[in-house]
Chain A
Amino acid sequence: MLFNTKDILETTRMITENKLDVRTITMGISLRDCGHSDIKVTAQKVYDKICQKAEHLVKTGEDLEVELGVPIINKRISVTPISMVGESCDSNDYVTLAQALDKAAKNVGVNFIGGFSALVDKGYTKGDRNLIASIPEALAVTDIVCSSVSVGSTKCGINMDAVKQMGEIVKLTAARTADCDAIGCAKLVIFCNAVPDNPFMAGAFHGVTEPETVINVGVSGPGVVKHALESVRDGDIGMVAETIKKTAFKITRVGQLVAQEAARRLNTQFGIIDLSLAPTPAIGDSVAHILEEIGLESTGCPGTTATLAMLNDAVKKGGLMASSYVGGLSGAFIPVSEDAGMIAAVERGCLTLEKLEAMTCVCSVGLDMIAIPGDTTASTISAIIADEAAIGMINNKTTAVRLIPVPGKGVGDTVEFGGLLGYAPIIPVNNFSAEKFISRGGRIPAPVRSLTN
């Protein structure tokens, strides 16, 4: 089959100028068969299984990168929530298991490994308690292990005991990694409606309904969408949505090709494509700049929520037809520190925590990579988690919180995380207290699913 030159040059331009890439190939690995009463034996089984199953993951990713000529930025691993793997151990301290994950991930050469996780939507098991208590130390002594805790869902309501505890855990993690601007908190996500097949960090884990191993792929391409929109500056919103759909289709087709081929070569199952617009701090790779291209003076101004809602919906509509299986977090991501346009919007005072919260109602995930003052109390962080979880619970969507209370820093300061994690100006937090609400504990009952007014 021959192509026309325009199509070919369009594809090469997307890659060379508009930063089209496949953000991640993530291999999910079940560790359900690694439990043992002796934690050292468990750690060894975990290490051995990951090294064996993911032995060729990085090489396969690199080969595909060469053949297809499209960058594949990250190769990652997600594993069964470690709260389940560690549950049969006699030890209460799961840091050993985090270290095994870290060592195995480094051995096979991946960028991150996710799954130091617990799912406590309705309550804790012994393993959940041990895991959550181990999080601050685990994130301090490892480099590429990511942790997540699910505290609620539409079906179960919100576990307010866990919400309270996670506020404290975020603070402890910040304190434990204070010497590097609380980097530990950048590897910790608190979810409502967590998904079992998310390829993106820090919230990836290999859910209990997943197969032995699986390949999930997250695509990217904010720069490609922005560039496409530059050609419809005089069009109405219908034309804008249509252009986004067509572009999302093309981006997703690349992801689908990579996912199918990676799964075939690794002799495993293709799971899902995550239809995402994932920004990086690089210029020309920003979701905020897409919103501004559509017609906002600065992301965060009135109109931002509506624009983002349209963008998110159009990305899904375009991507759905391009892939045979869609899942994960699918949608536009709005992490503050990882998006040059979002950072600029915060710096010019246009984008606040409250507006970000509103934006999370209509797009993928939630309050992501937001640096807040180090003196923010645990109960305030818990209250922000509760608000975000409530949005997810009521709207039947995934929401998440990844806040970084940076010790010793306040509004006006900036933190630098480096690499894909980027940098962020510290954003002000409303400090009126929710202490009494948070200290009550208990559970918010599951919501009614009709009478939705």
Chain B
Amino acid sequence: MRVVLTVIGQDKVGIIAGVSNALAECNINIININQNIMQGFFNMVLIGDMSEATVSLQEAKEKVHALGEKIGVEIRMQSEEIFTAMHRV
């Protein structure tokens, strides 16, 4: 399963490092990262591959949520399917 992470919040040093580190610990491979700063706000969309993951989606979600709270950004993690359904005919 492929997952989409969206990270939104105040920009600071180490957001990508933190997120990629958390994903590496779950053995989730990063396929694509799209990131920018708009008016001081950090926006990132990351697509990850969970086929070799060592944890369930629920566990991975909890892990990145906890990370988000720790570094002060909002991190959401969802299956890619919802985006495919909504934006591809």
In the assembled complex, the Cα of A369 lies from the Cα of B43 at a distance in Å of: 42
Of the four ranges (under 10, 10 to 19, 20 to 34, 35 or more), the interface on chain B belongs to: 20 to 34
Q: Is A451 an interface residue (CB 8 A)?
A: no
In the assembled complex, the Cα of A5 lies from the Cα of B77 at a distance in Å of: 14
Contact present for B79 and A7 (CB under 8 Å): no
Binding site for B on A (CB under 8 A): 1-3, 5, 7-9, 11-12, 16, 66-70, 250, 253-254, 256-257, 261
**Selected interface stretch from B13-21, B22-30, B80-88:** B80-88
Contact present for A66 and B86 (CB under 8 Å): no
What is the distance, in angstroms, from A396's C-beta to the closest C-beta of chain B? Answer: 31
Contact present for A8 and B79 (CB under 8 Å): no
Q: With A1-B88, A3-B4 in contact, do A69 and B79 touch (Cβ < 8 Å)?
A: yes
Q: With A5-B43, A8-B4, A12-B6 in contact, do A67 and B57 touch (Cβ < 8 Å)?
A: yes
Contact present for A68 and B87 (CB under 8 Å): no
B77 contacts which of A9, A69, A254, A256 (Cβ < 8 Å)? Answer: A69
Contact present for B85 and A8 (CB under 8 Å): no
Contact present for A257 and B85 (CB under 8 Å): yes
Q: With A8-B6, A67-B57, A253-B86 in contact, do A2 and B43 touch (Cβ < 8 Å)?
A: no
Q: Is B58 an interface residue (CB 8 A)?
A: yes
Q: Pull 12 A–B residue pairs with CB atoms less than 8 Å apart, ordered by A.
A: A1-B80, A3-B4, A5-B36, A8-B45, A11-B82, A67-B81, A68-B79, A69-B78, A250-B87, A256-B85, A257-B81, A261-B81
What is the distance, in angstroms, from A69's C-beta to the closest C-beta of chain B? Answer: 3
In the assembled complex, the Cα of A11 lies from the Cα of B58 at a distance in Å of: 20
What is the distance, in angstroms, from B61's C-beta to the closest C-beta of chain A? Answer: 7
In the assembled complex, the Cα of A8 lies from the Cα of B32 at a distance in Å of: 13
Contact present for A253 and B57 (CB under 8 Å): no
